[in-house]
Structure 1
Amino acid sequence: MKIKPFFNEMICRVQDDEVNAIAAQLTYYQILSFFPFLIFLITLLSYTTISRQDVLDEITGILPENTDQMILNLITETVSSRSETLLSLGMIATIWTASRGVMAIIRGINKAYDEAENRHYVVVRGISILYTLYLALVLLVLFIMLVFGEVIGRQVFSFFELPQYFGTVWGMMQYLIPLVVIFFVFVFLYHSAPNRKLKYKEVFPGAIFTTTGLIVVSLLFSIYINNFGNFAKTYGSIGGVIALLIWMYLINITIILGGEINAALTNLREGKRREQCKPFGYYLILPFKQKKEK
């Protein structure tokens, strides 16, 4: 595959398919379900040997700076003031809201493939709820791996009497396994979301891009927050909220772009292209062209 036609296609798709707008819509639904989901997760884990503080430490370690203390205070206050029944009922509403975010992804990926959604509403809603529950289960497993990975490794080494160097291997696997799991989460999403039959190998490029992109975007955004961006000075007490929104928005753009990459590669293999695509580099030379015309 030639690089230039691919980038031409992607530039066109980002504009035509309203990637930014879909990411903003997805962020809205996520922020509605983000806090209730974390509260439910902590309540659920209270029935295990995992402490609330362990979970909060892992969550705040993933999130950008300036958001961790805000989330910690909100969750602690809410969990201590609500009953388990209300938390359970709240989780039902959370799953419903989060599934609407998945439906926004489905619409965006269908648009990327130029496919009309003719599946029954119940089928689409069922896929979105199934993916939401699947994602919740994956997050639960990831938290267990991150919190108890070292303990699990020691037990396994002791039981099978494995050599000492397996400890180093397990230390790497403790972080590699979550990445592999996240990769297959996106493989499942990109395969089942569009209203067309796809082979699993056809969605691997987008899943690889998204899995890698989540790490890169989070690292770069954290570097920016730590060294350049001080949202507290600009937005005051809601600086943490703004930082969280921007981070989630960037993550959602990455997710939508993963679907666009799969669709672009599929269409190029089939000899299809967006007719209104501008040539690669058009938007770089446009200002000079306009200046010359004046």
Structure 2
Amino acid sequence: METNNLYIWSIKNIKSNRISIHAAQVAFFIMVSFFPFLMFFITLLKHTPISEAVLLASVQKVIPASLSSLISTWLNESFEASTTILSATVISALWAGSKGFASIAYELEAIYSDGLDKHRSFFSRRFHSILDTVLFTIMIIISLVLLVFGNQIIQLINHFLPFMQHMTLLLFLLRSAFSLLLFTIYFAFLYYFIPGRHALFREELPGAILSSFLWISFSYLYSFYVDTWGTISSIYGSLTSIVFLMLWLYFCITFLFLGALLNKYLQTYHSIHPINDLRRISDIVKYYLKSKI
């Protein structure tokens, strides 16, 4: 029996749509494609005045110490990669990324089960997956730079520009506001275009705002871990940061799906009591996080 209670409806749909399983699948393929994409961009830097030493010195200032050795080796291999390896890297990145986005599209279509355009061809779906992969990888990089390593970047700015120290709070607020706006717009377009459904763009904004807020908030928690315990490796050794990066991506993808669920709920029961139910959004998140502990 269908219910219009947001809490019960969300629990039912989180389980029926297997959100946690699809989030893990997407996180894996996005992670697999993430480093080849970075390798591609870094290889292109060989044709610019930027040297490997300059790039490595710059990157080491804004990454956890536990990743320094790994990143150093990886950058060295990327700079020495041949054109053949570069081509293979791009192909593998596009393949893995498109697989990840195919999973995102599948899950969003499962959530938005009504009003979908089911006449898209295979090539159309694959083309959109590749394009979305490139855009999403850029968003992941922006997220890591602004949110996860943002505090270290601000410290770097204060070090080289001492007169900016009294503006640290302003820099923090600007970073948060810009990130929220950028992510909200991107997620709204994601909800609007990927499922191939017929809906108004503004109807996708509530879920986009929720996903952006959860994504940014969780990224700040991850940033706190990087700043506070970035050198601790008692459990996973040198892979600690990579494992936490995977967990960060897994939860962020989960938040993306939760935003789609909110949109679906509001568009189904918008005439009942959306304002009261919006106040219980935190219950969905608390329930989901509690079930994973």
TM-score (normalised: structure 1): 0.69
SS in 2 for 1:110: helix
SS in 2 for 1:234: coil
Q: State the AA in 2 paired with 1:220.
A: L
Q: Does the aligned pair in 1 maintain the 2:43–2:79 contact within 8 Å?
A: no
Q: How far does residue 57 in structure 1 lie from its aligned partner after superposition?
A: 5.2
Q: How far does residue 204 in structure 1 lie from its aligned partner after superposition?
A: 0.7
Number of aligned positions between the proteins: 253
With 227-236 and 237-246 compared, the bigger mean Cα shift is at 227-236
Cα distance change, pair 171–225 in 1 and its aligned pair in 2 (3 A): closer
Tell me the percent identity. Answer: 25
Aligned residue in 2 for 1:107 = 106
* Correspondence 1:21-36 to 2 at 5 A: 21-36=21-36
Cα distance change, pair 13–258 in 1 and its aligned pair in 2 (3 A): same
Aligned residue in 2 for 1:200 = 201
Cα distance change, pair 262–48 in 1 and its aligned pair in 2 (3 A): farther
SS in 1 for 2:236: helix
How far apart are the structure 1 equivalents of 2:93 and 2:79? 19
Q: Deviations over 1:190-212 (max 9, x none)?
A: 11111311211011111111222
SS in 1 for 2:113: coil
* Correspondence 1:35-54 to 2 at 5 A: 35-47=35-47, 52-53=55-56
Q: How far does residue 119 in structure 1 lie from its aligned partner after superposition?
A: 2.3
Q: How far does residue 236 in structure 1 lie from its aligned partner after superposition?
A: 3.0
Q: Does the aligned pair in 2 maintain the 1:99–1:129 contact within 8 Å?
A: yes
Aligned residue in 1 for 2:160 = none
Q: Deviations over 1:80-133 (max 9, x none)?
A: 331244224311321221121111111111111224754221121121112223
Q: Any gaps of 5 or more consecutive residues in structure 2? A: 158-168, 273-282, 288-293
With 186-195 and 70-79 compared, the bigger mean Cα shift is at 70-79
Aligned residue in 1 for 2:90 = 91
* Correspondence 1:82-161 to 2 at 5 A: 82-115=81-114, 117-136=118-137
Q: Does the aligned pair in 2 maintain the 1:33–1:97 contact within 8 Å?
A: yes
How far apart are the structure 2 equivalents of 1:46 and 1:218? 31
- What is the RMSD of the two structures over their aligned residues, measured on CA atoms? 4.1
Say whether residues 1:56 and 2:59 are aligned partners. Answer: yes
Q: How far does residue 142 in structure 1 lie from its aligned partner after superposition?
A: 8.6
With 220-229 and 23-32 compared, the bigger mean Cα shift is at 220-229
Q: How far does residue 238 in structure 1 lie from its aligned partner after superposition?
A: 2.9
Q: Does the aligned pair in 2 maintain the 1:6–1:265 contact within 8 Å?
A: no
Cα distance change, pair 138–43 in 1 and its aligned pair in 2 (3 A): farther
How far apart are the structure 2 equivalents of 1:136 and 1:263? 26
Q: How far does residue 176 in structure 1 lie from its aligned partner after superposition?
A: 4.0
How far apart are the structure 2 equivalents of 1:118 and 1:222? 43
Q: Any gaps of 5 or more consecutive residues in structure 1? A: 151-167, 272-279, 285-294
SS in 2 for 1:250: helix
Larger radius of gyration: 1
Aligned residue in 2 for 1:268 = 269
How far apart are the structure 2 equivalents of 1:59 and 1:33? 22
The structure with higher relative contact order (CA 8 Å, sep 6+) is: 1
Q: Does the aligned pair in 2 maintain the 1:45–1:52 contact within 8 Å?
A: no
Q: State the AA in 2 paired with 1:102.
A: F
Q: Does the aligned pair in 2 maintain the 1:187–1:203 contact within 8 Å?
A: yes
With 73-82 and 107-116 compared, the bigger mean Cα shift is at 73-82
* Correspondence 1:129-278 to 2 at 5 A: 129-136=130-137, 173=174, 176-223=177-224, 232-269=233-270
Q: Does the aligned pair in 2 maintain the 1:231–1:240 contact within 8 Å?
A: no
Say whether residues 1:18 and 2:21 are aligned partners. Answer: no
